[in-house]
């Protein structure tokens, strides 16, 4: 079997981080990979940085867009189409990794041919590469799951975890099979701005198994332009709507009836966005884009939060 990996580096205005990202890819200890670099019509000096690597023997293709695609997932598709390698790594242009990342992930894929996806632990870093003290993303689902390596079948991973939250929080930490990805209709994710990767992971895992390596070989960067940073009110509304698009898709596709209480993290996330709202638009905050059962959870959580603040 061919175990070559296509490394897709989709970039947009990440010149401050791009050189480190590309170098961290080219320094991988795994011997069989090729690199596709895409730039989505950046307005910074990304092109200058990319051109420094044009003649590197591992850089197979460089693609510049004449117009911004306005979709990270269009860039994923374009990059994957530019190569034939059977394994894919989407190496986001603002992240970076340890030299052993690819070798470690591919060992998982080789060890279990049923795997459609393998991922590892991540350090969260800021713009200065300082490791941040972030709480475990999936702690409300399982306090200890991500402290050690695990193997699981895809159906169980969807039912127990992905039906509630995108536990695979950073694409840069993931290797997946091209053959499984190519069965997924782009219509499911192409128009999603914030949750398209969640949709992709679910549809990949519907076809096979998953491996996780607890060692933190990936560095996931949080900064003012990253998808997880605070956005405008309209963007935050869109983010919440996309969460529920995925949740409803999972429930309908897999005929699941998940525990609503395990979606409380969405309520908490919405409440945390209160600083975005002025007195003029506070009504938008108070009538969030939730169905009735989640609105009830929101008002209960908001009441408890206010009660705590008013307590002497």
Nearest 5°: phi and psi at 297? -65, -40
Structure tokens given for 13:
């205005």
Rounded mean pLDDT for each run of 10 residues along the chain, 312 residues in total: 94 97 98 97 98 97 96 96 97 98 98 97 92 78 92 97 95 98 98 96 98 97 65 89 97 93 95 90 94 96 89 72
Structure tokens given for 44:
């910074």
What pLDDT score was predicted for residue 227? 52
Helix 196-205 to helix 72-81 angle, to the nearest 10 degrees?
50
What pLDDT score was predicted for residue 230? 55
Nearest 5°: phi and psi at 164? -110, -35
Specify whether the CB–CB gap between 26 and 56 falls below 8 A: yes
Selection from 5, 185, 196, 241 nearest residue 104 by Cα: 5
Residue 41, phi-psi category: left (phi > 0), alpha (psi -120 to 50), beta (remainder): left
What pLDDT score was predicted for residue 310? 80
What pLDDT score was predicted for residue 152? 98
Specify whether the CB–CB gap between 43 and 13 falls below 8 A: yes
Report if pTM > 0.85: yes
d(CA 92, CA 95): 6
What pLDDT score was predicted for residue 133? 75
CB atoms within 10 A of CB 228: 15
What pLDDT score was predicted for residue 225? 60
Per-residue burial over 17-30, b if 16 or more Cβ lie within 10 Å, else e, is: bbbbbbebbbebeb
- List the beta bridge partners of residue 121: 216
Structure tokens given for 138:
């999936």
């Amino acid at each position: 079997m061919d175990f070559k990996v296509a490394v897709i580096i989709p970039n947009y205005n990440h010149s401050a981080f791009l050189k480190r990202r590309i170098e961290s890819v080219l320094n991988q200890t795994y011997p069989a990979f090729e690199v596709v670099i895409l730039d989505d019509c950046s307005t910074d000096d990304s092109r200058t940085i990319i051109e420094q690597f044009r003649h590197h023997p591992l850089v197979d293709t460089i693609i510049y867009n004449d117009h911004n695609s306005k979709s990270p997932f269009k860039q994923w598709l374009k990059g994957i189409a530019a190569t034939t390698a059977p394994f894919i790594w989407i190496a986001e242009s603002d992240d970076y990794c340890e030299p052993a990342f690819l070798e470690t992930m591919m060992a998982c894929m080789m060890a279990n041919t049923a795997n459609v996806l393998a991922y590892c632990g991540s350090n969260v870093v800021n713009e200065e590469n300082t490791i941040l003290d972030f709480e475990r993303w999936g702690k409300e689902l399982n306090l200890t799951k991500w402290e050690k390596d695990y193997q699981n079948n895809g159906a169980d991973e969807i039912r127990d975890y992905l039906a509630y939250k995108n536990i695979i929080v950073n694409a840069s930490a993931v290797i997946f099979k091209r053959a499984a990805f190519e069965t997924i209709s782009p219509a499911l994710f192409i128009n999603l701005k914030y949750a398209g990767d969640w949709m992709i992971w679910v549809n990949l895992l519907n076809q096979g198994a998953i491996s996780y390596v607890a060692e933190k070989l990936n560095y996931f960067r949080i900064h003012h332009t990253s998808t997880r940073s605070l956005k405008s009110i309209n963007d935050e509304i869109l983010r919440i709507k996309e969460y529920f698009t995925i949740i409803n898709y999972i429930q309908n596709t897999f005929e699941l009836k998940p525990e609503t209480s395990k979606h409380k993290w969405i309520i908490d996330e919405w409440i945390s966005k209160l600083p975005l709202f002025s007195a003029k638009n506070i009504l938008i905050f108070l009538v969030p884009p939730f169905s009735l059962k989640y609105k009830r959870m929101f008002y209960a959580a908001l009441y408890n939060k206010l009660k705590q603040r008013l307590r002497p």
